[in-house]
Structure 1
Amino acid sequence: MNNTLLNYYEAIERASADMLEAARNGQWDEVVKLEGACAVLIAQLKNAAHTEALQQDETKVKSRIMQRILLNDAEIRHLAEPWLEDLDMMMSGKSKTLH
């Protein structure tokens, strides 16, 4: 069983979970930093995937990991929406009105 590719998926999952924790705490600079780390890991994974392949049982583990990463990503995006709306308002020169 070749664990190298799975190690990359697990590292990406850990970074994704760390990003979610930072987003929950409003630490957006940390989210951006971790996103950069994820990009590096994904590039390394793609490179390693050219010479290695997952076994059938590893593919099932990969699928579970990917589902958790996607759930983390969805929650991060949900948490980021108000921040992005505020940024959009600031960039357009509009102020947020409270009712």
Structure 2
Amino acid sequence: MGSQSEVMHCYEQIAPLTERMLVLARAKQWGELPRLEGQCSSMVERLKDIEPLSTLDEAQSARKYVLLGRISANSSEIVGMIMPQLSKLVGVMKSLDRQRSLHKAYGQPDDAYLP
């Protein structure tokens, strides 16, 4: 596969991956997102290596920007759904850390409250 078609192949793979991630995020199925994000990241890393060395024709450039628009819109919506979940997780972790500090300060073992 030549570098030119490989660049477009990467974009053609990333767009549906972000669409699938968006479907999962909307359904609050967070567990599958890291695997798909890893696939996207691998494709992006590959693009960083090959895209500067390639030249796209006018039609490919137009298609690339359509795909980038979809990828960007999907990513923005995903981030909008993930950030509240991350904030909630950070809050829970801080609460657990405070509880652990209190238990330690008052002489209770860390595992006294673990299920």
The two structures have a TM-score, normalised by structure 2, of 0.72
User: 1 CA distance for matches of 2:89 and 2:37?
Assistant: 19
Corresponding residue for 2:66? 64
- Matching residue's letter, 1:10: E
**Structure with more contact order per residue of length (Cα contacts < 8 Å, sep ≥ 6):** 1
In terms of mean alpha carbon deviation, does 62-71 or 23-32 score higher? Answer: 23-32
User: 2 CA distance for matches of 1:57 and 1:87?
Assistant: 44
Corresponding residue for 2:84? 82
Q: CA deviation at 1:52?
A: 2.3
User: 2 CA distance for matches of 1:37 and 1:8?
Assistant: 11
User: 1 CA distance for matches of 2:57 and 2:9?
Assistant: 14
Corresponding residue for 2:103? none
Corresponding residue for 2:19? 17
Corresponding residue for 1:55? 57
In terms of mean alpha carbon deviation, does 41-50 or 70-79 score higher? Answer: 41-50
Runs of 4+ aligned residues of structure 1 deviating over 3 Å after TM superposition are none
Q: Does 1:29 align with 2:13?
A: no
Corresponding residue for 1:3? 5
> 1:93 is paired with a residue of what secondary structure?
helix
How many residues of Structure 1 are paired with residues of Structure 2 in the alignment? 93
Corresponding residue for 2:47? 45
Q: 1:27-66: CA deviations, max 9, x gaps?
A: 1121111000001111222223244221122111111110
Structure 1 unaligned segments of length 5 or more: list them. 95-99
User: 1 CA distance for matches of 2:52 and 2:75?
Assistant: 26
Structure 2 unaligned segments of length 5 or more: list them. 97-115
Larger radius of gyration, structure 1 or 2?
Answer: 2
